[in-house]
Amino acid sequence: MAIPEIPKYKPYYFEVKKGKGYLWCACGRSKKQPFCDGSHRDTEFMPVRYVAESDEDVLFCGCKHTGAAPFCDGAHNNLLDEYPSDDPNSPENLAIPSIARTVGKATMLDGGCFVVNPSAMTTTDAGNFRHVEFLSQSTGAKYQSQNYAVVMDGRSPVISYGGSYVVGFVLEGDGELLISGRRFNVQTRTGFVVHPHETFQFVQQGDVPLEMYLTVCPIESRPEFSCDMRDNFNSEFPQRVAVVDRGNAESMADRFFQVLVDKRLGCSAAAQFIGDIPESKAQPHRHLYEESIIVVAGQGTMWTDKRKTDVAAGDVIFLPQKQVHSLQCSDPDGMLVLGVIYPGDNPSINY
């Protein structure tokens, strides 16, 4: 089987127009990348025609190894032995100023990107459910709001976020999660999803409080606390919990990530993943999706165009769509991060 040439490892960003046709180069020989110029003649390759259904931003595959032609599916990451890195000590990077962190408040970087530690923020209590919303429309998000929550001493109130998905992650603690009457065991480093219009409740067990992050998408500004658990569990998707398991991780050059919550658990709006980062600084890049990143373990630096700030376990990084950024791990033991992306389901795609 013929192997295509690789004109570019990263994808090509392009703004397509509704109703217009595009002929994507599959052979890699075209001089008009990412589009065909006829260079595939006398090869086994044929270009792929794509007609845009709407005006939108797309990423056409540049490495020609995608399984989702004509679009990037992250395949380029595994064509290299190491994930592309950047030198934090280059003259250009040394000239970027470091922004001091402010306890209990967001540290603003470029383009609406910010870093915050929500555990240091003032919480609102609903019985034994202590929570704070630190990501919302008021802080620059378009697609997702995010809450830090702690459940102390047993059973929480019954909670609803209306017609939104709730994509959660247990950072610490053990217990149970009840979703519209169905019962699930949860533990430290467990991802889960609650479907629209379902109600849910936590039962904290043991000596350690349940410490969680709850991402709500589309944005729902405030939770509703109800006395009644609804009987409306979406049985089309009976599995709602995913435990971190390195055996289920996918490779991305010398890095690994595991998708915890996505359409397999019935969540078509967003995806939650966990990944490890070795001691390194990624090359500056962008995503088409909006992303929040929770530092689960380790420490490092978050870089944007003209600013940077230190990050450590417990910090949350918010990245608007298309914002240039680079996350550096300075910990010899590596960094473990949890991400939630919207709209999208593949965290390995960037440009």
Q: Would you kindly state where each structural domain of the chain is located, as residue ranges?
A: 1-79, 91-104+244-342, 122-241
Residue 221: per-residue pLDDT: 64
Is 122-241 in the same CATH topology as 91-104+244-342? yes
The CA-CA-CA angle for residues 302, 304, 305, to 5°, reads 155
Is the separation of the CB atoms in 140 and 112 below 8 Å? yes
Tens place of pLDDT for every residue, the chain, 351 residues? 789 999 999 999 999 999 999 999 999 999 999 999 999 999 999 999 999 999 999 999 999 999 999 999 999 988 988 888 999 999 999 999 999 999 999 999 999 999 999 999 999 999 999 999 999 999 999 999 999 999 999 999 999 999 999 999 999 999 999 999 999 999 999 999 999 999 999 999 999 999 999 999 988 768 899 889 999 999 999 999 999 988 888 877 778 899 999 999 999 889 999 999 999 999 999 999 999 999 999 999 999 999 999 999 999 999 999 999 999 999 999 999 999 999 988 999 999
What global pTM score does this model have?
Answer: 0.94
Give the CATH number of domain 91-104+244-342; options: 3.40.50.150, 2.40.30.20, 2.60.120.10, 3.90.1300.10.
2.60.120.10
CATH number for region 122-241: 2.60.120.10
